[in-house]
Amino acid sequence: MYDKGKIIGGLAVFLCLASFPVWYMAASGKADYSPDPVLPVSENLCVESAQYMKEYHMQLMQQWRDQAVRQGDSIYVSSDNRTFDINLTGTCLKCHTNKADFCDRCHNYTGTAPNCWDCHNVPPANAPPQVTK
Amino acid sequence: MNIDRRSFLKLAALGLLAVAAKPAFDLISRPSAARALEGPFAGKRLAMVVDLNACTAGDGCVDCIAACHSVHNVPDIGNTKEEIKWLWEVDYKRAFPDQENGFVSEPLLDSRVLVLCNHCDNPPCVKVCPTQATWKREDGIVMMDYHRCIGCRYCMAACPYGSRSFNWRDPRPYIDIIQQGYPTRTRGVVEKCNFCEERLSDGLQPACVEACSSGALKFGDLKPGTELYDLISSQFNLRRKAELGTRPQVYYLL
């Protein structure tokens, strides 16, 4: 085989460059980055269980929207029989006082951009002390 | 498989029948249209009365307009082409163009009239909306679902009262103080008066009625026996462009 050294060397350089993003992220410690949304401290229960909220909060919010706007019924009864006033600003953001450190952290991480806040108000951030999970 | 012409035709006919049976069954078993009328608002018809004798709009009073536009975050764009309005005033002659030849007292003819969405019982805007973003609730309120509005503005063309406004631009910079109690709108949706649907469900009166100090505005259910019904049935009143058949539900006492 001709130019064995050059070919293998070239391949090695190519592999290094091609895999650069992977090992760079690993080396800089960003590979196991997680969004770490800041949870409320004053409350310990969400509308539904935390796992359910993580997976289905978008569906829940759509259900809220349809129930409140289309059916005119603004009381939500959770699966464990607690009642909530259906309101993004007044209910979700009453507990999750810091939208930027909660909703947005996850959404930035997953590249999701809900347009709800183009219209729904975000109260001026007056966040009480919160802890990271 | 061996099959003769006769039994093939029989089988084919049977197959066709089976295919046709499903839609026919669906048709028969569909819940009747009347079911849509049931619900939390059945049997109600909300309406508004504006007493033009008591209203002081002509003297420069804008309490009701200010209250309405404040609680609903209605922007003040500052030019008539792009303005957003839920409740506003016009000259008597413009409010009731068809009444021009009637015998109306001089002061009335020169007066200013409060106008708003008439929450028609036969709303033309609802008929033309391609996404059902606007519809009539069972209590009579002509609702807007801003989530569904695609901004086609058919409803604005259909409304004979000009009660609907289109957001040509992001309204937020034009709102003095954003009230947290009601969402703003965004560029590209149509908006209008909602009879304070969000306040009614909290047991409150509409913001304009609450703000009116002269008692010119009255709001409520319009069925026999109510104060509103007595008022309308005992005093002469007008509705805007009622001849169009929209059955408007804002009544003007003269």
pLDDT at position B116, please?
Answer: 96
Q: Is B168 on the interface with A (CB under 8 A)?
A: no
Asked if the Cβ–Cβ distance from B183 to A73 is below 8 Å, we say no
Q: Under a CB-based contact definition with an 8 Å cutoff, are residues B50 and B117 in contact?
A: no
| Residue B3 lies inside a defined structural domain of this protein | no
| Residue B28 lies inside a defined structural domain of this protein | no
CATH number at residue B178: 3.30.70.20
pLDDT at position B160, please?
Answer: 96
A36-83 residue pLDDT tens:
888 888 888 999 999 999 999 999 999 999 999 999 899 999 999 999
pLDDT at position B234, please?
Answer: 87
Chain B residue with CA closest to A116: the answer is B147
Domain membership of residue B244 as a residue range? 46-253
User: Is the pLDDT score of A25 beyond 90?
Assistant: no
CA distances, A41 to each of A38, A101, A127, A129, A132 (Å) = 9, 13, 11, 7, 9
The backbone region for B92, taken as left when phi is positive above 0, alpha when psi lies in -120 to 50, beta otherwise, is alpha
- How many domains, chain B? 1
User: Which residues touch A57 (CB under 8 Å, ≥6 apart)?
Assistant: none
For residues B147-156, average pLDDT:
96
Mutation site, B180, B182, B195, interface A, largest A CB count within 10 A: B180
User: Average per-residue pLDDT in chain A?
Assistant: 87
B63-119 residue pLDDT tens:
999 999 999 999 999 899 999 999 999 998 889 887 765 667 777 778 899 999 999
